[in-house]
Amino acid sequence: MTTQTPGTTATYLGTGDVSKHRRDYRPEWLDNLADDVTIEGSVLTGIVEGPEAVRAILGFARTLYDYQEFNYVGRYADNGFVEDYTSVVRGEPIGSVVVVRFNEAGEATRIVVNHRPLRSVLLWSQLMGEHFAGTRYAQCFLTRDTAEWLHEVTETR
């Protein structure tokens, strides 16, 4: 079910301006993770903790984007960082907002990644689950069957 005000465009579709598509972005904060760093997000089935896990998950996740078109990247407040961008993953548009909080030592300690729309969230989690199948990270993502079932039940509403 799609409800949209006439004349509006979903922000996750991006601008369509190919000159704004980046394929080279690597966040600096990824090199400065606290020992107790956590990541949570709409594609995860729980909260993941530890720099090794965060780097493994984000390292693969970054390969799924065809490009990133940034609306905003930068600091906010005294101890935060925000990334707001759109992209395409396997032909599906996806919007992302990443919020990073830093501890007093300047290390990234809390990462929240939210994606939209739901169709893309389900695809993303499924792709991550397939990649990490057989590893300790597999439980953090949807299986293909679960993602397909959720897609089916949400499309019929």
pLDDT number for residue 157:
54
pLDDT number for residue 1:
47
pLDDT number for residue 147:
79
Chain position carrying tokens 């992302």:
96
- Domain residue ranges of the chain, discontinuous segments joined by +: 29-155
| Residue of 119, 90, 100, 86 whose CA lies nearest to 54 | 100
**What is the residue-level pLDDT of the chain in tens, covering all 157 positions?**
455 555 556 777 788 888 888 889 999 999 999 999 999 999 999 999 999 999 999 999 999 999 999 999 999 999 999 999 999 999 999 999 999 999 999 999 999 999 999 999 999 999 999 999 999 999 999 988 887 888 888 876 5
Q: Which amino acid is at 115?
A: H
Give CA–CA dist 55/35, Å, rounded: 12
pLDDT number for residue 48:
96
The CATH code of the domain at 29-155 is 3.10.450.50
Question: What DSSP assignment string belongs to 9-41?
Answer: --GGG----GGGEES----GGGGSEEEEEEEEE
Q: What pTM was computed for the model?
A: 0.88
